[in-house]
Each structure stands twice: as C-alpha cells, then as structure tokens.
C-alpha cells in the first residue's frame, strides 16, 4: 500500500502516519520527492487498513499497489531515481552514463592503460572484474583483491568511479573498500542472501538481469536490495538466453522501455554480454539508447584476441571511440543529455 502525503500536511503529520503504520505491525518507507512525500507500507494490505490510513491527518490518498514489488515501482515514486556514484558522476535522470573497460582486470599496467583509453573516448565509469563467474572452473577466474587494488588506483588516477562484480557475501567488505558501484552479476540475480547483504550497505548496486530472469523476478530482486534500506539500485539488461544460438544472448530491447515504465530505477544496457559478438555491440548500443536506456556498459580490450575473458565481444580502443561518437549522435537525436560523457570535440 502507498500513502501519498498532502503538500499541506502539518509538521508532525508524517511522524504520526509512520507511527500508525508501525503500530499495525508493518514497516514504513519514506520517499521524499520534489513535489510529494510518499510512504510505502510494507506488509500485507487490506481494505480496512486502507480506510484507516485515509482518515489520518495529512494523508492525501492511499493506493493499493497492484504489483508484487513496491519500493521500486513507479507507483511508489513517479520521479526517476538519480544515483550519485562518486567523482561527481550520476546515473539516471536523463544524463547518459557509460561504463567501460576490460571484462577482467588482467594486470596493473593493463587496467591503467584501459582506463586512459576509455576515458579519452568519453566513458565516465571504469569497469573491470576481479571475481569472475566463469562457466568452466579451469578458465581465468580473476585476480581477486590484488585486482581490486589496481582498479581502485586506476579510478583514482583518472578521476573515474569504478564498478566491479561481487560474487559472494564473503567478499563484501573487500569489494566495498575498493569499488564505487557493486555489480551483482546475472548468475546471482536471485542470490537472495547476497541481495540482502548489499541492501545493508549504502553503495550503489548494479543488478544485472539473470540469464532467464523475467522482468518481474528482476524487479523483485531489486526490491530485496531497496527493502533492506539501500535505494541506490541500477538495473542492467545484459541479454537473456533464448532458443537462438547465432549469438551468445538475445539482447531484450523491449525490457528497457518496459522497465522504465514499471520502475523509477535507472536502466543500463550491456550490449557486450547481450550479443557476445563485437560487431553487434555498436548497433545494439545505439538501439538501446534510442529505446531509453540511461547508459551503457561496454567491454573494451586493446587486443581482444589476447583477452583473458570475453575477447569475442570486446571492442578495441578505436572501435570503442567510434561507438561513443555514433551513440552521441543517436542520443542527441532523441533529446538525451550527453554532457556527462566526454565524447571527443567535433565528434558530433
Ligand atoms: C561481466 O560483466 O563481465 C559479467 C560476467 O556479466 P554477466 O553477469 O552479465 O554475465
Ligand atoms: Mn565479461
């Protein structure tokens, strides 16, 4: 249930409403918007309870939520969520964010060089995996904490926030120490203990859609994080597994406008994992931005044939710079704010 507070509510009315919610054995989640304060009531709904809340002083209206997720729904919050991820960078709210870098942090020099290259091309967030979810236990599984140190140092040096994947609750402290954004990978979208754990932090979390994750399951997974008190959730469409084997995954472009309609959370598109093929990354990136994505995650490698993971979908520095130029054109054509991503002068 959602309680909309009247703009004319007296001081103290909100405290009183919250106290009554708690008295009923439910929890209250406040969302203070520019125009309105909305209170989410977490717990079972009933028509009697709706009537009770409706007559409290300061209440404008009370709504039964029609979706199983609440705090992440548009019904709960009409305004887009904008998340500050550090170094003055924000995700959501119309500005484009571009996360780029290698799939895996490979060594110190490589992540520094990658950071310089992606920043020069206009990316504003550096990515790199140190704990890698690999299908085979014999594949390169990441440098662990040493890699995180290299990533954080590169981010500091280049004045860019960094994002890296957290695979298990046992690494949460070390990952939080070094990263600005925690990535929850597709394979962990429904690892509910992990979701609870990142929900207890206040770090921005990027939640990737599972390989077979339905939209509702994905939004409920985001709800887990927000319900623990962390409102800083970014969604990421990274392709789903379908009958098609001509590419690694099927990038579900429908998900972008649908999720923007159902939720106030920002949505990033990952056409690298969404296609698995470097030649498809740029056209799908352009489509995703035109469809309303708040930004991109792109894997970049100077020598994709030598990459320790995901070389087939990695763009060279030159290709990435080309992608940034053409994405900027599409973004400008659909009225998006591209001031935050530093596309080279004259590129448009
Ligand atoms: C990644 O970003 O490198 C990754 C492993 O992504 P996903 O969880 O989407 O497969
Ligand atoms: Mn990857």
Question: Do 55 and 164 lie in a common domain?
Answer: no
Domain boundary among 10, 33, 63: 63
Question: Do 239 and 93 lie in a common domain?
Answer: yes
Question: Do 261 and 216 lie in a common domain?
Answer: yes
Closest ligand 1 atom to 187 CA: 8
Q: How many domains does the chain have?
A: 2
CATH label of the domain that carries residue 93: 3.20.20.70
Question: Do 122 and 170 lie in a common domain?
Answer: yes
Could you tell me the two tokens for 52?
């009770």
Nearest CA to ligand 1 atom 10: 186
Question: Do 283 and 251 lie in a common domain?
Answer: yes
Task: Tell me the residue range of the domain where 34 lies.
Answer: 2-63
Q: Is residue 77 part of a domain?
A: no
Q: Is residue 27 part of a domain?
A: yes
Question: Do 228 and 275 lie in a common domain?
Answer: yes
Q: How many Å lie between the centroid of ligand 2 and the Cα of residue 19?
A: 47
CATH label of the domain that carries residue 7: 3.30.70.1140
pLDDT values of the chain reduced to their tens digit, one per residue, 348 residues = 899 999 999 989 999 999 999 999 999 999 887 778 899 998 888 888 899 999 999 999 998 888 899 999 998 898 999 999 999 999 998 889 999 999 999 999 999 999 999 999 999 999 999 999 999 999 999 999 999 999 999 999 999 999 999 999 999 999 999 999 999 999 999 999 999 999 999 999 999 999 999 999 999 999 999 999 999 999 999 999 999 999 999 999 999 999 999 999 999 999 999 999 999 999 999 999 999 999 999 999 999 999 999 999 999 999 999 999 999 999 999 998 787 776 743 444
Question: Do 183 and 35 lie in a common domain?
Answer: no
Say what the pLDDT of residue 334 is: 93
Question: Do 92 and 137 lie in a common domain?
Answer: yes
pLDDT, one tens digit per residue, over 71-106 is: 999 988 989 999 999 999 999 988 899 999 999 999
Any ligand 1 atom below 6 A from CB of 186: yes
Say what the pLDDT of residue 34 is: 74
Say what the pLDDT of residue 345 is: 37
Say what the pLDDT of residue 337 is: 78
Tell me which ligand sits closest to the C-alpha of residue 313.
Answer: 2
Predicted TM-score (pTM) of this structure: 0.92
Distance between start and end Cα atoms, the chain: 47
Q: Is residue 69 part of a domain?
A: no
Among 105, 125, 129, 181, which is best to mutate for testing ligand 1, by the most ligand atoms less than 8 A from CB?
A: 129
């Amino acid at each position: 249930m959602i309680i909309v507070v009247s703009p004319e509510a007296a001081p103290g009315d909100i405290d009183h409403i919250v106290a009554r919610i708690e008295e009923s054995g439910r929890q209250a989640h406040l969302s203070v918007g520019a125009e309105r304060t909305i209170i989410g009531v977490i717990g079972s709904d009933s028509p009697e309870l709706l009537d009770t809340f409706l007559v409290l002083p300061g209440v404008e209206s009370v709504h039964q939520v029609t979706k199983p997720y609440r705090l992440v729904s548009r019904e709960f919050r009409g305004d887009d969520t904008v998340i500050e991820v550090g170094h003055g960078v924000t995700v959501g709210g119309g500005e484009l964010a571009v996360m780029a870098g290698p799939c895996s942090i490979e060594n110190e020099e490589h992540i520094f060089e990658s950071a310089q290259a992606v920043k020069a091309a206009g990316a504003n967030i550096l990515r790199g995996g140190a704990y890698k979810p690999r299908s085979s236990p014999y594949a390169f599984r990441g440098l662990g904490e040493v890699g995180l140190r290299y990533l954080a140092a590169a981010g500091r040096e280049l004045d860019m926030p960094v994002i890296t994947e957290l695979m298990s609750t046992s690494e949460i402290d070390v990952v939080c120490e070094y990263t600005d954004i925690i990535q929850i990978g597709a394979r962990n979208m429904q690892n509910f203990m992990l979701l609870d754990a990142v929900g207890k932090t206040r770090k921005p979390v990027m939640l990737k859609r599972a390989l077979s994750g339905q939209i509702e399951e994905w939004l409920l997974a985001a709800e887990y994080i927000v319900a623990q008190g962390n409102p800083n959730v970014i969604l990421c469409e990274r392709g789903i597994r379908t009958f098609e084997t001509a590419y690694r995954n099927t990038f579900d472009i429908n998900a972008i406008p649908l999720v923007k309609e159902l939720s106030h959370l920002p949505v990033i598109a990952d056409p690298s994992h969404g296609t698995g093929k470097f030649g498809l990354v740029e056209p799908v990136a352009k489509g995703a931005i035109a469809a309303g994505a708040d930004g991109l995650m792109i894997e970049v490698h100077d020598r994709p044939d030598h990459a320790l993971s995901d070389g087939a979908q990695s763009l060279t520095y030159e290709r990435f710079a080309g992608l940034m130029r053409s994405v900027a054109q599409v973004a400008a054509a659909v009225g998006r704010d591209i001031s935050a991503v530093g596309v080279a002068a004259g590129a448009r």
